Amino acid sequence: MFIISRVFYIQIVSGKELQSLAIDQWTRELPVSAKRGVIYDRNNVPLAENKQSYAVYIRTRCVADPRAVADSLSQIFDGIEADALYDKIIAGTSSEITVKRNVNKETVDKLADYDLQGVYYSSDNSRYYPFGSSLCQVLGYVSSDGRGQSGLELYYDEFLRGYDGEILYESDLIGKDIGKTAARYIAATDGLSVKLTIDAEIQRICDAVMYKAYNEYTPKSCAVVVLDPSSGQILAMSELPSYDLNAVPREDRKFLDSASRNSFIVDSYEPGSTFKILTAAANIEEYLQGNKKAFSLNYVFNPSNYRIVDGKKIKCWTTHANGKHANENLAAALNNSCNPCFVDIALSLGKEKMYDYIEAFGYGKTTGIDFNGEALGMVVPESSVTGGDLARISFGQTIAVTPIQLAAATAAAVNGGLYYEPYFVSEISDKTGKIAQIINPKVKNRVISEKASRILAGYLEDVVKSGSGKQAYIEGYRVGGKTGTAQKYENGRIAVGKNIMSFVGFFPSSDPKYLALAIVDEPIGGLYGSTVAAPIVKDVFDGIIKSKEIKGIK
Please report the beta strands in 60-209, taking only residues with DSSP state E, as ranges in sequence order. 96-103, 119-128, 165-170, 184-186, 193-196
Q: Where are the beta strands (DSSP E) in 456-492?
A: 480-490
Answer yes or no: are the C-beta atoms of 111 and 56 closer than 8 Å: yes
Rounded distance between C-alpha atoms, residue 282 and residue 290, angstroms: 12
Q: Are 443 and 230 in contact (CB under 8 A)?
A: no
Point out the catalytic residue in the list 260, 263, 273, 502: 273
Q: Are 244 and 133 a contacting pair, CB within 8 Å?
A: yes
Please, is 145 exposed, middle or buried when counting C-beta atoms within 10 Å of its C-beta (0-12, 13-18, 19+)? middle
For residue 524, what are the CA distances in angstroms to 122, 222, 497, 527, 538? 53, 12, 9, 8, 20
- Can you tell me whether residue 446 is helix, strand or coil? strand
Rounded-to-integer distance, Cα 534 and Cα 362, Å: 24
Whole-number Å distance between alpha carbons of 73 and 490: 54
Separation of alpha carbons 189 and 501, rounded Å: 48
Q: Is the Cα torsion angle 495, 497, 502, 503 positive or negative in sign? A: positive
Q: Are 328 and 303 in contact, with CB atoms under 8 Å apart?
A: yes
Distances (CA, A) of 359 to 69, 367, 387, 444: 65, 11, 18, 12
Q: How far is CA 25 from CA 19, 21, 177, 486, in A?
A: 10, 6, 12, 67
- Residue 536: count of CB within 10 angstroms of its CB: 31
Cα 215 → chain centroid: 23
> How far apart (Å, rounded) are the C-alpha atoms in residues 529 and 213?
13
Interatomic CA distance for residues 151 and 127, integer angstroms: 14
**Residue 276, helix vs strand vs coil:** helix
143 is annotated as an active-site residue: no
Residues annotated catalytic, as ranges: 273
